[in-house]
Structure 1
Amino acid sequence: MSDVKKIAVILASGSGIRFGAPVPKQFLKLAGKTVLEHTLDVFERHPAIDEVVIVGSADNLLLINEIINRAGYRKVTKVVSGGTTRQQSSAAGIAAILGDDHKVLVHDAVRPLLDHATIDRCLHALERGDAVDTAIPASDTVIQVTPESRIANIPDRSVLRLGQTPQAFRSGVLRKAHELAKSAPDLMVTDDCGLILHYSLSDVEVVAGDVNNIKITYPSDIYLADRIFQLRARRIGVGEGDLALAGKTIVVFGASRGIGKSVCEIATAAGANVIAVSRASGVDICDEKAVRTTLREAVESYGRIDAVIATAGILRTGLIAGQNYSIIDEQIATNLRGSIVVAREAFEAMREAGGSIALFTSSSYTRGRARYSVYSATKAAIVNLVQALSEEFLPFHVRINAINPERTATPMRIENFGVEPAEALLDANVVAQETLSACFSQSTGEVIDIRL
């Protein structure tokens, strides 16, 4: 059993006719990447998944391979041609897997919001049986109708579920189902679990899916998915990114205090070449010439820049009616325009060799906070900025993410909210450590949560 693998089969051969876009929906851009890339990211990052097999249409195999090569997906072992139906594509996927004891997850490429917890539930269920479906409770009343569009039956909603993917199988069971289906060309089933049940090959256990694991079918779905991506953040634990910083060159803007100071101390102790600047040292991130000069000198001194981190920010509390425009302009200039300047100039310094950029958002980006409305607005703008720039920068191997720490013990926090219980605040060193981890991960276009 030591040779048993956990393999994801990604079905990416759909034509997207119902969507009506000029390209298949799995290749549409969403939050900085194609839908397919977001889906592949989920399995690439899951520690239990050993391999990924992609099933595409013959017309799109070249594009799929270009995406894989550009992003460097290490777990993708095969890209195979599928058929004109979902069933044919799934059959092609299982045919590419050798051996009958593997745990296989079959997933639609156009479900990019799959979470790791759902994958875990599928894999655990395969310890108990040979077939697993993923589903969520039906929230609406489901009606059965006659050919004349009259209600024939209203099933009990409590026993109804809405199916999702992944579906999970022992490879031999799924292989046998598709072999049997070859002799029944008129068989109409909508998914692989339907095949398993039709041929009575196994019971199918149902595990909980996730309401956010939507399938992109219609144009409105892409807007919904984009909004979910904007609001959904991901944690990067220390150790997920490469924290072997010896010889790395890191430029920190806003380095004189708070999180920026902690980043510099941790990176320096780890052997990185750290260029630490702030307004106190004469570098204001609103000044593009000063930012450009700082980055140019870093390249001249060390040959390249591996990461640029901008922690500089300004928070002014109070009702907006009581703030004069100079206070408003100051926050917009530093928090938003300054971040734009750093991102733009860092990209120019990194576009030849690649690298990573980290900007800072805040938990207030999801919902504006009274008494610091301007600050909240700038932090929401940072998230949109990062998502947009991740798409622009991706061909140049420049990554950019928004770091979203919970309330952190920094001088800016104390100045605005006074002394708070230490146990209610993140330590700046923790935020700094995870910021560095995010910079040296493969994430891009994401909101990286840092929580207590």
Structure 2
Amino acid sequence: MISRLPSIGVVLAGGTGRRVGHSEPKQLIKLAGRTILEHTIELFDASPDVDEVVVLMTPGFVEPVRELVRRCGFGKVTAIVEGGASRTESTWRALQAVGERECNVLLHDAVRPLLEPRIITDCVRALETYEAVEVAIPSSDTVLVAEDDIVREVLDRSRLRRAQTPQAFRLSVIREAYRRAMADPGFATRQATDDCGVVLRYLPEVPIYLVPGSERNMKVTHPIDLSIADQLLRLAAAGTPAPAPPDYRRVLSGRTVAVFGDGADLAALASGYGAVVRCFPADLARTEEQAAKALAEAGPVHHVIHLAGPRPGSLAAADAEALALACLGAANVARAAYPLLRETGGTLVLQADGGDGSVAAPARAATAELARALAAEWAADDIRVNAVLTTDPHRTARTCLDALASGLTGQVMDG
């Protein structure tokens, strides 16, 4: 068995987004409150099996990605490299950026943000025995060979696999395969569609081991893929495990938490982790001025939570003041909290209940989208914004603390 080598995740983000219908690179499109690239880098940055991360980016977008990496605190990213004119050239540049030392490299499409951590682990484990690894899943469709719109052959589906990424290699192996490919005059007109194809063609003596992939590990290529990936990422965020108690204390101990609404349960819970909790009546969220005055009395504020409280049952029965509070309360608190949270680098949590009335339902949707939008707008100020959708006050308190302690932003959490 080959001894453990450093493992480097290479995120290939050199695409332009033409097929998905956007003018900007598709890896910078936001899904579930964060760019596709952020979701993908985080998978490798958080993996205990990955030692470093190299990002290869579309020409002209290296500096924005450098800022993204700094803002998100991706500590394993050691290089951000400008891509080439083709995927082959881009991969070659990434391999050069890795350096000369022997190591494992995991080449992954940036637009596969739903990669399961288990697959990264399986690839690294497989490289303890093999020098080339392909991630693939069985084909659920029948595949045809056609010519001039006539079916010529029906392939045996039991032998077919659909390739995914990451594709993992010993660095010396994939680098040698690419050296031979780039020295071959015929390679330019008959390029391989993936990196394992380069190894198979130019180093046929190297066995390529298959690691099971996942149907979730989809590639965002077409407009419909954006909607599917967005929903899957939101579902994954909603299922994020609750932080451990030490995380609550780390985030809350000695910090001031301002709560608008009926926050008795939340105050008791947060105080138990060392927080200083200031509660204000929900009515103070009627205007930005009232909310700002209340926050000024609290001194330096590290976290602000807006609890929606009971919504009017129907639009027709709601009085004007109750309607204004239901629809604008979260926005008023957010505007009042912004300058304070910018100073402390804190977190804003906007809670909405789960009612289905003609006031509650749209207010809930608005709260969720407001949190996602503010998370993107305020990220440069190191302010995190999350939404919590609950009805039970006891569950509301715990889920709000989860939102504070998670370190995430732009998430909508059900509780």
Q: Same fold (TM over 0.5)?
A: yes
CA change 1:127–1:434 in 2 (3 A) is farther
Instruction: Note the 1:262-341 alignment, pairs <5 A.
Output: 263-279=266-282, 283-298=283-298, 301=299, 304-314=300-310, 325-326=316-317, 336-341=327-332
1:136-180 Cα offsets, whole Å, 9 max, x none, are 34343322112x221111223343332222222233332332233
CA change 1:30–1:256 in 2 (3 A) is closer
Counterpart of 2:81, as a letter, is V
Match of 1:417 in 2: none
* C-alpha deviation, 1:81, in angstroms: 2.9
* C-alpha deviation, 1:189, in angstroms: 0.6
1:276-303 Cα offsets, whole Å, 9 max, x none, are 2334xxx4534444322222222xx2xx
Unaligned residue ranges in structure 2 (runs of 5+): none
Counterpart of 1:250, as a letter, is V
Q: TM-score, normalised by structure 2?
A: 0.84
1:53-82 Cα offsets, whole Å, 9 max, x none, are 011244322232222233332111111233
Q: Does 2:90 match 1:89?
A: yes
Match of 1:213 in 2: 217
Match of 1:177 in 2: 177
Instruction: Note the 1:127-166 alignment, pairs <5 A.
Output: 127-146=128-147, 148-166=148-166
Q: CA–CA distance in 2 between the matches of 1:46 and 1:333? A: 45
Q: TM-score, normalised by structure 1?
A: 0.78
Q: Does 2:157 match 1:192?
A: no
Match of 2:55 in 1: 54
Q: CA–CA distance in 2 between the matches of 1:333 and 1:107? A: 48
Which of 344, 368, 381 lines up with 2:335 in the alignment? 344
Preserved contact between residue 132 and residue 205 of structure 1 (Cα < 8 Å): yes
Q: CA–CA distance in 2 between the matches of 1:361 and 1:324? A: 17
CA change 1:312–1:137 in 2 (3 A) is same
Q: Does 2:359 match 1:358?
A: no
Preserved contact between residue 315 and residue 358 of structure 2 (Cα < 8 Å): no
CA change 1:441–1:227 in 2 (3 A) is closer
* C-alpha deviation, 1:193, in angstroms: 1.3
Q: CA–CA distance in 1 between the matches of 2:116 and 2:322? A: 36
Preserved contact between residue 108 and residue 165 of structure 2 (Cα < 8 Å): yes
Q: CA–CA distance in 2 between the matches of 1:3 and 1:309? A: 46
Match of 1:420 in 2: none
CA change 1:143–1:254 in 2 (3 A) is same
* C-alpha deviation, 1:434, in angstroms: 5.6
Counterpart of 1:274, as a letter, is V
Preserved contact between residue 310 and residue 359 of structure 1 (Cα < 8 Å): yes
* C-alpha deviation, 1:358, in angstroms: 1.4
* C-alpha deviation, 1:404, in angstroms: 5.0
Preserved contact between residue 31 and residue 388 of structure 1 (Cα < 8 Å): no
CA change 1:211–1:398 in 2 (3 A) is same
* C-alpha deviation, 1:38, in angstroms: 2.4
Q: Secondary structure at the match of 1:152?
A: strand
Q: Does 2:391 match 1:446?
A: no
Preserved contact between residue 44 and residue 50 of structure 2 (Cα < 8 Å): yes
Match of 1:243 in 2: 249
Q: CA–CA distance in 1 between the matches of 2:389 and 2:129? A: 39
Q: Secondary structure at the match of 2:410?
A: coil
Preserved contact between residue 314 and residue 334 of structure 1 (Cα < 8 Å): no
Preserved contact between residue 3 and residue 128 of structure 2 (Cα < 8 Å): no
Q: CA–CA distance in 1 between the matches of 2:142 and 2:206? A: 29
Q: CA–CA distance in 1 between the matches of 2:164 and 2:323? A: 43
CA change 1:355–1:190 in 2 (3 A) is same
1:16-58 Cα offsets, whole Å, 9 max, x none, are 3434532222233334333222222222333433221011244
> 378-387 vs 104-113, which deviates more?
378-387
Q: CA–CA distance in 1 between the matches of 2:349 and 2:10? A: 33
CA change 1:19–1:437 in 2 (3 A) is closer
Unaligned residue ranges in structure 1 (runs of 5+): 411-426
Q: CA–CA distance in 1 between the matches of 2:104 and 2:413? A: 30
Preserved contact between residue 335 and residue 379 of structure 1 (Cα < 8 Å): no
Instruction: Note the 1:107-122 alignment, pairs <5 A.
Output: 107-122=108-123
* C-alpha deviation, 1:392, in angstroms: 1.9
1:405-440 Cα offsets, whole Å, 9 max, x none, are 6x85x4xxxxxxxxxxxxxxxx64xx6456335324
Q: Secondary structure at the match of 2:98?
A: coil
Match of 1:383 in 2: 368
Which of 382, 388, 393 lines up with 1:403 in the alignment? 388
Q: Secondary structure at the match of 2:186?
A: coil
CA change 1:157–1:3 in 2 (3 A) is closer
Please provide the CA RMSD for this pair: 3.3
* C-alpha deviation, 1:336, in angstroms: 4.6
* C-alpha deviation, 1:264, in angstroms: 2.0
Match of 1:203 in 2: 207
Counterpart of 1:247, as a letter, is G
* C-alpha deviation, 1:248, in angstroms: 1.7
CA change 1:344–1:124 in 2 (3 A) is farther
Q: CA–CA distance in 1 between the matches of 2:129 and 2:364? A: 46
CA change 1:392–1:121 in 2 (3 A) is same
1:221-270 Cα offsets, whole Å, 9 max, x none, are 3344334434442414324956323332211223444xxx2x32233233
Q: Secondary structure at the match of 2:267?
A: helix
Preserved contact between residue 49 and residue 120 of structure 2 (Cα < 8 Å): no
Q: CA–CA distance in 1 between the matches of 2:123 and 2:323? A: 46
